[in-house]
Chain A
Amino acid sequence: MGALQSLSDEPEYRELSEKTGFSFEQIGILHKRFKQLSHNEDMLRRADLDTIPDLACNPIRTQIIEAFFDKRNFHQNGDGTVEEISFEEFLVVMSHFRPPALNMTEEQREKVRREKLRFLFNMHDTDNDGTITLEEYRHVVEELLSRSGALEKETAKGIADAAMLEVASISMGHMVRLLFYNIL
């Protein structure tokens, strides 16, 4: 495929647009970016995302990259991770970041909100078991602090503990769900 956007992609775009909610223009732009990242191939790999210079100093880049390859984010009720993704899956992951449309009903808005929370949840839950343990949470905090240089494991542990404690004191069980609802 060449770098030019041809209108022969129209029917494909329509399907994608319906599935993800992006407009044709947005899909076009993202497609260009996808091709750029994957060096004009059909499938995107982790290594391609690793090379993005802007992500280099991001403390949670591994998690962000993982999120793209996490089957749970593909809306197909799958599980586990894949090694490479197609443009459609790329779009689906991206669609999590769309703002809710102005003319949505309250119910639809709830659904969108829940999907976004699900995405975040999956980012934290690295071992794919459906729960966020204290260890995973600590890992997140460590990653966040990893840019500071002088990381003390005790600090990260302390912070994660305090955070879990806070949640525990706010809710009595069902910690993780309410954890997210409390902050978002």
Chain B
Amino acid sequence: MPAFSCAFPGCRRDLLVIVLVVFVGIGLHIEASAPAYQSHGTEGSHLTNITNTKKAFPVLAVNYEHVRKPFEIALWILLALLMKLGFHLIPRLSAVVPESCLLIVVGLLVGGLIKVIGEEPPVLDSQLFFLCLLPPIILDAGYFLPIRPFTENVGTILVFAVIGTLWNAFFMGGLLYALCQIESVGLSGVDLLACLLFGSIVSAVDPVAVLAVFEEIHINELVHILVFGESLLNDAVTVVLYNLFEEFSKVGTVTVLDVFLGVVCFFVVSLGGVLVGAIYGFLAAFTSRFTSHTRVIEPLFVFLYSYMAYLSSEMFHLSGIMALIACGVVMRPYVEANISHKSYTTIKYFLKMWSSVSETLIFIFLGVSTVAGPHAWNWTFVITTVILCLVSRVLGVIGLTFIINKFRIVKLTKKDQFIVAYGGLRGAIAFSLGYLLSNSHQMRNLFLTAIITVIFFTVFVQGMTIRPLVELLAVKKKKESKPSINEEIHTEFLDHLLTGVEGVCGHYGHYHWKEKLNRFNKTYVKRWLIAGENFKEPELIAFYRKMELKQAIMMVESGQLPSVLPSTISMQNIQPRAIPRVSKKREEEIRRILRANLQNNKQKMRSRSYSRHTLFDADEEDNVSEVRLRKTKIEMERRMSHYLTVPANRESPRPGVRRVRFESDNQVFSADSFPTVHFEQPSPPSTPDAVSLEEEVPKRPRLKADIEGPRGNASDNRQGELDYQRLARCLSDPGPNKDKEDDDPFMSC
């Protein structure tokens, strides 16, 4: 077995390499010989028109120029994805080396290959990068940004992003200028502004690289959001500094007025970007209110409005990244309340898909550009840059944390600081900004080389070693927890409690303003942006319904599959709780579909348009699976009893049909639409076997554990059972018995 498994991925890898080479070869060969065909084609038709001689009808012709551009684009994307596929087939490699490194290496190889063939390798065009490759990644990050940790730490994040980046830029620029003044380096032509420009390009932490590396190490939420948030918010600073220094280095001198204008510019850029994003976000939310009849195009609204936000802000030289983040954050709660479940899934998967493709392409192109680009190597400059990057980052983080910790309740420990400092990776944004420098800068090539070296160093060395370091330092990891209704309840409870205590103290703190914002949101904003009557529902109920729906779906699916695993957790940045609100009619629909699935033993969820068929078939097939379901239910009940402390008086199994009624909402979760509830139809229990779980919903002051007699055969999947029995518990009224605890439960543990 081990031999087989070793050989197999190896085979696949070789196959992929061969495929890759073939692809590239074909692509380039066609490219090279395309002009020849083209000229033949035009000549031929030209001649035909003039002389009218009969030519043989071309049965097969090649016209490459016609499809050239899309063909090449598609080829590159396909190459990128095949590489990604290849890596994940080799588990040993992907566990040690982060994907970004591998992709850069592939890029290097491909670039080298192209150069060997004699063609000019394509360079990462800045236009392409900023307008096509970057937005999907940022939108993905912004849309799924975990709001709570972000807003709790926004002060810290801003300090790191703004002040940290400024510190980095000036420290590096200044010291490099000092370096250039030294005669032996041979760079005395470099003036201060050019150095500062270089410093500002290379000082910003890159969101793409951070995402790529951090998503594989599963670090705790606090550090993750700090580094990630910083990488997103420092875009404003980078934009301002870059434009500022570029303008100045043309002019040559700086006055105090310019500096002042620069500061003003920073505020305009960042706040303007956020404003533009927020406006588009509200527009998107408002539009989504009316899409109940055209569900199919809902995802497009989300994508297009966000992209427009990005382009609009780029148009005004505002921070596009912040616009995109603001747009995603603002529109998400309202859009999710309005759109259908399918649209939500579409949005999620499309965003993940695009951002994944973009990221892959970026890293590959980075590798290719390294081979292609004009280089000017200067040992001292480059090595100093790399060292200074590290040093300034570490100093910046330590210094800022010292100040920040005075204002934080949850202090940042040394370990946190280390990871924040070490996780400051540079990436493709720095490269593109460097590439954007006009050729008039005589140091352009040197800068580019230095930037690429820094990027390589951070991505390879820091990216590869961060995982073992995290293990070594035993940094707290992210807890993979499933969405828990207890957490929701207690989070809300604590929020209110802390707001209340702030009120008692007379202190207008964090919670006070948050509460005010929530109330404003509820009374005014939601009314306009959420369709129908949904806006009145409190979040707790919405969350509860989402969970039930999710459990129902999981139950149905797991009923068919032997092993179900929440594989969605492995996808990056997925919020386990981010299941959308579903309108009541839709929930009805979904329940009907679930029931149909259950009965027809199919695993796919049918789309809305097919549900009419299943409705008619449903009734007939009720009885068939009924008995089977009952048996599994009984078995589950038995298992359930192990979890609960059972009182001495066990209830004897009651015969007769009892009705399962859904607890929460009588209108929506009406008995018939739920898969289990076809029991409600009067079907006489033929044998004691057919004891069902249905029961009336009594108003009992105390709850008893209902125990059915141990019956039925063991069903094959426990996971489904567990979920199912949880659901069954939700449906039927019984609950745990009143627990008599030890005298002092807290102190005894």
Q: A55-B500, A148-B537 are in contact. Are A158 and B730 (CB under 8 A)?
A: yes
Cβ of A47 within 8 Å of any chain B Cβ, yes or no, is no
Q: Are A182 and B486 in contact (CB under 8 A)?
A: yes
CB-CB < 8 A to B736: which residues of A? 134, 164-165, 168, 175
Most chain A beta carbons < 10 A, residue from B487, B515, B541, B701: B541
Q: Are B665 and A155 in contact (CB under 8 A)?
A: yes
Q: Give the interface segment out of B187-195, B376-384, B443-451, B488-496.
A: B488-496
Per-residue CB proximity of B711-749 to A under 8 Å, as 1/0?
000000000001000100110010110111101111101
- For A64, give its contact among B410, B489, B500, B519 (CB under 8 Å): B500
Cβ of B4 within 8 Å of any chain A Cβ, yes or no, is no
- For B490, give its contact among A49, A130, A173, A183 (CB under 8 Å): A183
Q: A52-B503, A60-B493 are in contact. Are A135 and B701 (CB under 8 A)?
A: yes
- Closest CB in chain B relative to A88 CB, distance in Å: 16
- Closest CB in chain A relative to B558 CB, distance in Å: 16
CB-CB < 8 A to B616: which residues of A? none
CB-CB < 8 A to A107: which residues of B? none
Q: Give the interface segment out of A6-14, A78-86, A117-125.
A: A117-125
- For B738, give its contact among A134, A155, A179 (CB under 8 Å): A134
Subset of 8 A-B contacts with CB under 8 Å? A60-B496, A114-B747, A152-B665, A159-B540, A159-B664, A161-B663, A161-B733, A167-B486
Q: A33-B505, A130-B741, A158-B544 are in contact. Are A166 and B489 (CB under 8 A)?
A: no
Cβ of A112 within 8 Å of any chain B Cβ, yes or no, is no
Cβ of B666 within 8 Å of any chain A Cβ, yes or no, is yes
Cβ of A109 within 8 Å of any chain B Cβ, yes or no, is no
Cβ of A149 within 8 Å of any chain B Cβ, yes or no, is yes
CB-CB < 8 A to B544: which residues of A? 155, 158-159, 162
Cβ of A105 within 8 Å of any chain B Cβ, yes or no, is no
Q: Are A117 and B746 in contact (CB under 8 A)?
A: yes
Q: A64-B501, A154-B665 are in contact. Are A140 and B493 (CB under 8 A)?
A: yes
A159 to chain B: closest residue by CB:
B544
Cβ of B502 within 8 Å of any chain A Cβ, yes or no, is yes
Most chain A beta carbons < 10 A, residue from B499, B536, B663: B663
Cβ of B644 within 8 Å of any chain A Cβ, yes or no, is yes
CB-CB < 8 A to A133: which residues of B? 738-739
Q: Are B505 and A166 in contact (CB under 8 A)?
A: no
Chain A, interface residues (CB within 8 Å), range: 35 or more
Give bound CA distance, A64 to B496, whole Å.
9
Cβ of A3 within 8 Å of any chain B Cβ, yes or no, is no
Q: A33-B506, A155-B664, A161-B663 are in contact. Are A173 and B493 (CB under 8 A)?
A: no
- Closest CB in chain B relative to A35 CB, distance in Å: 11
Give bound CA distance, A183 to B485, whole Å.
10
Residues of B within 8 A of A (CB): 409-411, 484-487, 489-494, 496-506, 512, 515, 519, 536-538, 540-541, 544, 547-548, 642-645, 662-666, 697, 701, 703, 722, 726, 729-730, 733, 735-736, 738-741, 743-747, 749
CB-CB < 8 A to A92: which residues of B? none
CB-CB < 8 A to B515: which residues of A? 58
Q: Are A161 and B489 in contact (CB under 8 A)?
A: no
B661 to chain A: closest residue by CB:
A154
A60 to chain B: closest residue by CB:
B496
Q: Are B745 and A168 in contact (CB under 8 A)?
A: no
CB-CB < 8 A to A19: which residues of B? none
A179 to chain B: closest residue by CB:
B486
- For B505, give its contact among A30, A164, A182 (CB under 8 Å): A30
Q: Are A162 and B504 in contact (CB under 8 A)?
A: no
Cβ of A46 within 8 Å of any chain B Cβ, yes or no, is no
Q: A60-B497, A144-B496 are in contact. Are A163 and B663 (CB under 8 A)?
A: no
Give bound CA distance, A167 to B500, whole Å.
27
Per-residue CB proximity of A35-54 to B under 8 Å, as 1/0?
01100000000000100101
Q: A54-B502, A58-B499, A148-B538 are in contact. Are A163 and B410 (CB under 8 A)?
A: no
Give bound CA distance, A145 to B537, whole Å.
9
A-B pair count, CB < 8 Å, reads 170
Q: A152-B664, A159-B541, A174-B741 are in contact. Are A123 and B746 (CB under 8 A)?
A: no
CB-CB < 8 A to A58: which residues of B? 496, 499-500, 503, 515
Residues of A within 8 A of B (CB): 30, 33, 36-37, 49, 52, 54-55, 57-61, 64, 68, 94, 97, 99, 102, 114, 117-118, 120-121, 123, 130-131, 133-135, 140-141, 144-145, 147-150, 152, 154-155, 157-159, 161-169, 172-177, 179, 182-184
Q: Are A130 and B743 in contact (CB under 8 A)?
A: yes
- Closest CB in chain A relative to B156 CB, distance in Å: 15
Give bound CA distance, A183 to B735, whole Å.
21
- Closest CB in chain B relative to A70 CB, distance in Å: 14
Most chain A beta carbons < 10 A, residue from B512, B538, B544: B538
Q: Are A131 and B663 in contact (CB under 8 A)?
A: no
Q: Are B489 and A141 in contact (CB under 8 A)?
A: yes
Q: A30-B505, A33-B505 are in contact. Are A161 and B735 (CB under 8 A)?
A: yes
Q: A117-B746, A155-B665, A163-B485 are in contact. Are A144 and B739 (CB under 8 A)?
A: no
Q: A54-B512, A176-B745 are in contact. Are A64 and B485 (CB under 8 A)?
A: no
Give bound CA distance, A7 to B124, whole Å.
70
CB-CB < 8 A to A144: which residues of B? 489, 492-493, 496, 538, 540
Give bound CA distance, A140 to B492, whole Å.
11
Q: Are B486 and A163 in contact (CB under 8 A)?
A: yes
Q: Are A164 and B504 in contact (CB under 8 A)?
A: no
Q: A148-B536, A159-B540 are in contact. Are A175 and B489 (CB under 8 A)?
A: no
Give bound CA distance, A182 to B482, whole Å.
12
- Closest CB in chain B relative to A159 CB, distance in Å: 5
Most chain B beta carbons < 10 A, residue from A36, A37, A117, A159: A159
- Closest CB in chain B relative to A122 CB, distance in Å: 10
Q: Are A57 and B500 in contact (CB under 8 A)?
A: no
Give bound CA distance, A133 to B740, whole Å.
9
Q: Are A159 and B489 in contact (CB under 8 A)?
A: yes
Q: Are B664 and A158 in contact (CB under 8 A)?
A: yes
CB-CB < 8 A to A36: which residues of B? 506
Give bound CA distance, A149 to B666, whole Å.
17
Give bound CA distance, A123 to B494, whole Å.
11
B745 to chain A: closest residue by CB:
A177
New A-B contacts (13) at CB < 8 Å, excluding given A131-B741, A164-B736: A33-B506, A36-B506, A54-B503, A99-B410, A114-B747, A123-B497, A140-B493, A150-B536, A152-B666, A154-B663, A155-B663, A176-B739, A176-B741
Give bound CA distance, A54 to B493, whole Å.
16
CB-CB < 8 A to B744: which residues of A? 130
- Closest CB in chain A relative to B741 CB, distance in Å: 5
Give bound CA distance, A61 to B729, whole Å.
31
Q: Are A154 and B504 in contact (CB under 8 A)?
A: no
Q: Are A94 and B493 in contact (CB under 8 A)?
A: no
- Closest CB in chain B relative to A109 CB, distance in Å: 12
- Closest CB in chain B relative to A106 CB, distance in Å: 13
- Closest CB in chain B relative to A97 CB, distance in Å: 6
Give bound CA distance, A58 to B516, whole Å.
11
Q: A33-B505, A57-B519, A131-B740 are in contact. Are A183 and B487 (CB under 8 A)?
A: yes
